[in-house]
Amino acid sequence: MHPMLNIAVRAARKAGNLIAKNYETPDAVEASQKGSNDFVTNVDREAERLIIEVIRKSYPKHTIITEESGELAGEDQDIQWVIDPLDGTTNFIKRLPHFAVSIAVRIKGRTEVAVVYDPMRNELFSAVRGQGAQLNGYRLRGSIARDLDGTILATGFPFKLKQHAPAYMNILTKLFTQCADFRRTGSAALDLAYVAAGRVDGYFEIGLKPWDFAAGELLVREAGGLVTDFTGNHGYLHSGNIVAGNPRVVKAMLSNMREELSEALKR
């Protein structure tokens, strides 16, 4: 196994076990508000601490970027661990058992290793660049859909960016008339993992952060899929506006979205 994948898996399992244990004891969970409609708990922070501890033990010089601590610059800036300790915090707080730990390793800007771990189902999605994507050791392949006909698409509502609500709803309406149905699961990392697994045929969301998609992006690619921004380019690395699916589904989604994009979403 790739040595960094080994460490990423160990860290993800450790954090996942902590999250699952706390899911059983809701009285121990303390939620607070970070911004409008944006929550964090003591469990997010504790899971993050555990992950950083595992990584630091093996790689004390690497840079670590996390949702709750920001950038912990290391001596080595070329290797960055991009971490979401708990993706799906709102689900976790509402006791809706769908959330994950997401860990990616980027070397000189290119993602090499990815892990998304769902502790409630004990599902570990992993990928190493050039070596395919796996779920609990089994090779993943994405959807074989040729267009949007009959597809199930996933999305996330822009609940922290409600200024985008009108454009988002226009895109949703357009795609909804073409596909079979939509899912909104509440975890972007799992949405991307599910695209990699072919459990959904495509996915789009506005304004994700790097830790939401860093691991999921590699899972999708290694399962034969494509990740782009809303115009088919790489702007999502900064905007976080993401479309994912197999190349044909992404093409069909983009062509339906084109006329509905506000200026702000064309990157």
For the annotated binding site for Mg(2+), the residues are 67, 84, 86-87, 212
Considering the rule CB under 6 A, would residue 229 count as an interface residue with ligand IPD? no
Binding residues: 67, 84, 86-87, 212
Candidates 9-17, 18-26, 130-138, 208-216; binding stretch for Ca ion (CB under 5 A): 208-216
Candidates 16, 51, 66, 67; binder of Ca ion (CB under 5 A) is 67
State the binding partner of 187 from ligand IPD, Ca ion, none, CB within 5 to 8 A by kind. ligand IPD
**Amino acid, res. 195:** V
Exposure string of 85-116, with b = 16+ CB inside 10 Å and e = fewer, is bbbbbebbbeeeebbbbbbbbbeeeebbbbbb
Please answer whether residues 230 and 241 qualify as being in contact, where contact means their C-beta atoms are separated by less than 8 angstroms. Answer: yes
Please answer whether residues 60 and 54 qualify as being in contact, where contact means their C-beta atoms are separated by less than 8 angstroms. Answer: no
Candidates 48, 84, 112, 222; binder of ligand IPD (CB under 6 A) is 84
Candidates 17-25, 89-97, 138-146, 153-161; binding stretch for Ca ion (CB under 5 A): 89-97
Considering the rule CB under 6 A, would residue 188 count as an interface residue with ligand IPD? yes
Considering the rule CB under 5 A, would residue 118 count as an interface residue with Ca ion? no
CB within 8 A of 1, min separation 6: which ones?
A: none
* Residue ranges that bind ligand IPD, judged by CB under 6 A: 67, 84, 87-90, 156, 186-188, 205, 208, 212
